[in-house]
């Protein structure tokens, strides 16, 4: 049961055609997810973390977006070879998503219970009455007080935290095997964030749901995840088990990121470490390593050739896409 | 009367927004108490952080201080002078001394103005009114030097805001706020719209500028780690009230108000080993509506340590230690009535 790979993403490439040129939003991304585990995908805005996960469910709108290469293997089957009809049975039932902004993701003119019940009626063929009862159960499960009455409310009558709970109820209604949470707490206050993260943690533990947690907040990653992929300019630059990433980061970008966040558990006052410059424009990614113009340790080769993902300490799940590890690669 | 060290003195500030009903004949049916009896001081040279969750009134407080928001009650003294009692002309002169850095570097800059002009604009306005005497040439030079100082090449002076990244735009916003040589900067979430790697650049810049120009900051943010890094003293707000003020280090080591404690414990640390060991205080429910009239403590509905008394009367801010004030009955003197 343990270590069973449930989802595998291989060589994923997604691009968007815009007036100014082709944006390579996701550039050769591979990772795998094990049953019952939580994988974090961290990166700054525009690093491709959301597009990666939308691509998994083929939710990229064409045009302008297009998945140009790669495969997504869910329980041994390549999702990209399936028909739209077949993918629809996977979405919501086996793999579901929680989006960042709970206000725009809910339909404002449809009652809350009806929106939760939609997936139940579609995937499980439940009748209206039965689906409503199940929806109310779900609202209770996620901690909405007076669930019977609140089920008949519209989304605007709910607070931001409650709306995000509703999104979670919808995502969990069909007991999915994978939950993709795309910045689920970014729009929320910290005390509400703590409630929502606790909820996701407990539910995934109880039902051994695998979770992909997309976030820019390294604190959330430390709290929630078993392993992490760090993305930069559409590529995975480092992957590691949670502790390795925080205590032994191998890519200069990860190291810089960890050093540059102010932390409440450390005394303030001293200057923060900074990463100079800004993330590259994805239309015009510099040749070689995308992080090279901002990297303190850039070498000659970095601006010429893009580094492959080097395996660190012989552990295939621990990689860094950085030429600094080239020697290690040769030895191991 | 005023202590020379006190730059800004806010006394019992309230800002209520009326809730109106009716189309032709509007009548007031209630009020949103965005800020409800807030008092604090900001000393010369310090950075006071105002933290709290969305809707707690921290930005409204800043706008009221900047005289950009009508005050319902209370007084704001800047260097001992009551800002509300000033004529528009006097206020304009005084405004040179307190400037704002806004949260959103996208909507706070006029997209049709060039970066150099955006920074020079306050200087031009004040020169035109004869408040400062600078020639156009001097203004341009000053704007260029401000750009350089804020980490923007002055060769970018002819570019428009959309040609800059978010972090660079925030640098323009900062240079613009510095143009008139203010003593106090009201920084309203200056880094929350920025990416992590850019955030640290801007925070370092603000810190350097504080030393260089002897600036005093009222720093508003919801990110506790950012506030702790930047500020020497912190005031925690909840539902229009200040519930605790303390030295930054003291507050983080030893928060006293149950809300401050919950707030701090809710922040996830980027340290997985400690994170696994931490016990988190999870507050129940949501922040209540600020329009409801309440007689007790604003935090009573969500407080894990609520007592009967908390629902009946509102606790006042009380000194519990040097530089440490808390509004909570847990720390009231045993005699019961601590007033």
Mean pLDDT of B72-80: 94
Query: Over the stretch A54-92, which tens digit does the pLDDT of each residue have?
Result: 999 888 888 888 999 999 999 888 988 888 888 888 888
Q: How far A160 CA sits from the closest chain B CA (Å)? A: 9
Q: Which of residues 231-290 of A touch B (CB under 8 A)?
A: 242-243, 246-247, 256-258, 260-265, 267-269, 271-276, 278-279
- Report whether pLDDT(A1) > 70: no
Q: How far A219 CA sits from the closest chain B CA (Å)? A: 4
Mean pLDDT of A214-224: 93
- Residue in chain B lying closest to A280 (CA): B165
pLDDT of B3 reads 66
pLDDT of B294 reads 77
pLDDT of B215 reads 96
CA distance A161 to A185: 9
Read off the tokens for B144: 């260029």
- Report whether pLDDT(A329) > 50: no
Whether A257 and B269 lie within 8 Å, measured CB to CB: no
Mean of pLDDT over chain A: 88
- Report whether pLDDT(B315) > 60: yes
pLDDT of A161 reads 82
Read off the tokens for A244: 């390795």
- E strands within chain B? 6-21, 27-43, 47-51, 73-78, 81-82, 98-101, 184-188, 216-221, 233-238, 241-247, 318-321, 324-326
Read off the tokens for A262: 């102010």
Residues of A in contact with B249 (CB under 8 A): 267-268
Query: Over the stretch B175-212, which tens digit does the pLDDT of each residue have?
Result: 999 999 999 999 999 998 888 888 999 999 999 999 99
CA distance A310 to A328: 8
Whether B225 and A264 lie within 8 Å, measured CB to CB: yes
Residues of B in contact with A273 (CB under 8 A): 200
Whether A220 and B229 lie within 8 Å, measured CB to CB: no
A145 in reach of chain B (CB within 8 A): yes
How far apart, in Å, are the Cα atoms of A222 and each of A99, B200, B269, B339? 20, 20, 7, 45
Query: Over the stretch A117-151, which tens digit does the pLDDT of each residue have?
Result: 998 998 888 999 999 999 999 998 888 888 888 99
ipTM over 0.90? The verdict is: no
Mean pLDDT of A2-31: 90
Backbone angle region of B329, left / alpha / beta, with phi > 0 → left and psi within -120 to 50 → alpha: alpha
Q: Which of B95, B106, B84, B52 is nearest to B219 (CA)?
A: B52
Whether B267 and A242 lie within 8 Å, measured CB to CB: no
CA distance B57 to B50: 10
Q: How far B270 CA sits from the closest chain A CA (Å)? A: 4
Residues making up chain A, counted from first to last: 332
- Report whether pLDDT(B338) > 60: no
pLDDT of A274 reads 87
Residues of B in contact with A240 (CB under 8 A): none
Whether A221 and B270 lie within 8 Å, measured CB to CB: yes
Whether B197 and A219 lie within 8 Å, measured CB to CB: no
**Tokens 């533990």 appear where?**
A205
A191 in reach of chain B (CB within 8 A): yes
Mean pLDDT of B236-242: 94
Mean pLDDT of B231-248: 94
A192, A260, A269 ranked by CB distance to B200: nearest: A260
More confident position, A101 or A35:
A35
Read off the tokens for B317: 């801010």
Query: Over the stretch A273-322, which tens digit does the pLDDT of each residue have?
Result: 888 888 888 888 878 999 999 998 889 899 999 999 999 988 888 999 99
A192, A261, A268 ranked by CB distance to B270: nearest: A261
What are phi and psi for residue B182, nearest 5 degrees? Answer: -70, 160
Find the helix packing angle between B136-149 and B115-128, rounded to 10°.
Answer: 130
Whether B195 and A44 lie within 8 Å, measured CB to CB: yes
Confidence of residue B264 (pLDDT cuts 50, 70, 90): very high
Q: Which of A282, A284, A280 is nearest to A292 (CA)?
A: A280
How far apart, in Å, are the Cα atoms of A39 and each of A210, A258, B111, B263? 8, 18, 40, 26
- Report whether pLDDT(B227) > 70: yes
pLDDT of B339 reads 43
pLDDT of B184 reads 96
Strands B6-21 and B73-78: antiparallel
Please state whether the peptide bond connecting residue A202 to the residue before it is cis, i.e. omega within 30 degrees of 0: no
pLDDT of A55 reads 92
Q: Which of residues 19-78 of A touch B (CB under 8 A)?
A: 44-45
Whether B225 and A261 lie within 8 Å, measured CB to CB: yes
How far apart, in Å, are the Cα atoms of A50 and each of A22, A274, A305? 18, 25, 26
Q: Which of A279, A260, A267 is nearest to B204 (CA)?
A: A260
3-state secondary structure B115-144: HHHHHHHHHHHHHHCCCCCCCHHHHHHHHH
Interface test with B, best of A194, A244, A296 (most B CBs within 10 A): A194
CA distance A257 to A275: 8
Q: Which of A82, A51, A94, A27 is nearest to A286 (CA)?
A: A27
Query: Over the stretch B111-122, which tens digit does the pLDDT of each residue have?
Result: 999 999 999 999
Whether B203 and A262 lie within 8 Å, measured CB to CB: yes
A219 in reach of chain B (CB within 8 A): yes
pLDDT of B336 reads 46
pLDDT of B66 reads 92
Mean of pLDDT over chain B: 90
Residues of B in contact with A161 (CB under 8 A): 286
Where does residue B107 rank: exposed (0-12), middle (13-18), buried (19+ CB within 10 A)?
Answer: exposed
Confidence of residue A2 (pLDDT cuts 50, 70, 90): low
CA distance B316 to B329: 9
Interface test with B, best of A245, A248, A261 (most B CBs within 10 A): A261
- Report whether pLDDT(A176) > 60: yes
Strands A21-34 and A38-42: unpaired
More confident position, B39 or A267:
B39
Confidence of residue A332 (pLDDT cuts 50, 70, 90): very low
Whether B285 and A263 lie within 8 Å, measured CB to CB: no
- Report whether pLDDT(A102) > 80: no
Q: How far A283 CA sits from the closest chain B CA (Å)? A: 15
In chain B, what percentage of residues exceed pLDDT 70? 97
A157 in reach of chain B (CB within 8 A): no
Residues of B in contact with A271 (CB under 8 A): 204, 207
Q: How far A274 CA sits from the closest chain B CA (Å)? A: 6
Whether A263 and B226 lie within 8 Å, measured CB to CB: no
């Amino acid at each position: 049961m343990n270590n069973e790979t449930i989802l595998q993403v291989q060589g994923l490439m997604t691009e968007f055609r815009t007036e100014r040129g082709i944006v390579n939003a996701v550039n050769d991304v591979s990772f795998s997810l094990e049953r019952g585990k939580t994988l974090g995908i961290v990166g700054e805005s525009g690093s491709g973390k959301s597009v990666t996960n939308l691509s998994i469910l083929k939710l990229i709108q064409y045009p302008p977006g297009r998945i140009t290469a790669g495969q997504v293997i869910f329980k041994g089957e390549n999702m990209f070879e399936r028909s739209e009809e077949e993918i629809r049975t996977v979405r919501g039932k086996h793999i579901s998503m929680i989006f960042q902004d709970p206000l725009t993701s809910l339909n404002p003119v449809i009652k809350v219970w009806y929106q939760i019940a939609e997936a139940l009626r579609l995937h499980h063929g439940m009748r209206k009455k039965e689906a409503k009862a199940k929806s109310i159960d779900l609202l209770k499960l996620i901690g909405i007080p007076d669930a019977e009455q609140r089920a008949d409310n519209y989304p605007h009558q709910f607070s931001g935290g409650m709306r995000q709970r509703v999104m979670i109820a919808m995502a969990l209604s069909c007991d999915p095997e994978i939950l993709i949470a795309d910045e689920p707490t970014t729009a929320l206050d910290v005390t509400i964030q703590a409630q929502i993260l606790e909820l996701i943690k407990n539910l995934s533990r109880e039902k051994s749901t695998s979770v992909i947690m997309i976030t820019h907040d390294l604190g959330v990653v430390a709290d929630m995840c078993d392993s992490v992929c760090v993305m930069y300019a559409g590529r995975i630059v480092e992957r590691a088990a949670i502790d390795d990433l925080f205590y032994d980061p191998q890519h200069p970008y990860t190291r810089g990121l960890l050093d540059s966040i102010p932390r409440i558990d450390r005394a303030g006052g001293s200057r923060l470490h900074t990463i100079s410059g800004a993330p590259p424009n994805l239309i015009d990614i510099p040749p070689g390593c995308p992080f090279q113009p901002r990297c303190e340790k850039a070498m000659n080769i970095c601006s010429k050739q893009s580094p492959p993902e080097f395996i660190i300490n012989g552990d295939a799940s621990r990689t860094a896409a950085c030429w600094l590890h080239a020697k290690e690669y040769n030895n191991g | 009367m005023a202590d020379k060290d006190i730059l800004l003195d806010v006394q019992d500030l309230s800002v209520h927004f009326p809730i109106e009903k009716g189309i032709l004949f509007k009548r007031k049916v209630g009020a949103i108490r965005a800020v409800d009896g807030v008092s604090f001081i900001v000393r010369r040279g310090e950075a006071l952080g105002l933290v709290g969750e969305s809707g707690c009134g921290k930005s409204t407080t800043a706008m009221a201080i900047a005289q950009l928001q009508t005050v319902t009650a209370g007084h704001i003294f800047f260097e001992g002078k009551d800002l509300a009692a000033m004529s528009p002309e006097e206020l304009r002169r005084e405004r040179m001394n307190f400037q704002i850095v806004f949260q959103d570097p996208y909507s706070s800059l006029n997209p049709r103005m060039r970066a150099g002009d955006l920074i020079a604009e306050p200087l031009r306005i004040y020169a035109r009114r004869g408040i400062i005497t600078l020639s156009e040439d001097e203004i341009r030079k000053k704007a260029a030097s401000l750009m350089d100082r804020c980490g923007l090449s002055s060769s970018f002076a002819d570019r428009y805001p959309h040609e800059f990244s978010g972090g660079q735009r925030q640098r323009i916003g900062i240079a613009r706020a510095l143009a008139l040589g203010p003593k106090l900067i009201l920084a309203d979430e200056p880094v929350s719209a920025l990416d992590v790697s850019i955030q640290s650049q801007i925070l370092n810049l603000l810190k350097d500028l504080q030393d260089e120009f002897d600036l005093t900051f009222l720093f508003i943010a919801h990110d506790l780690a950012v506030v702790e890094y930047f500020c020497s003293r912190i005031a925690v707000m909840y539902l229009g009230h200040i519930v605790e003020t303390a030295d930054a280090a003291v507050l983080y080591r030893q928060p006293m108000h149950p809300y401050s404690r919950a707030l701090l414990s809710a922040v996830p640390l980027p340290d997985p080993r400690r994170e696994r060991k931490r016990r988190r205080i999870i507050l129940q429910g949501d922040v209540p509506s600020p329009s409801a009239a309440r007689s007790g403590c604003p935090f009573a509905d969500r407080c894990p340590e609520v007592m009967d008394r908390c629902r009946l009367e509102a606790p006042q801010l009380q000194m519990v230690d040097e530089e440490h004030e808390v509004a909570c009955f847990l720390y009231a003197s045993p005699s019961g009535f601590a007033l």
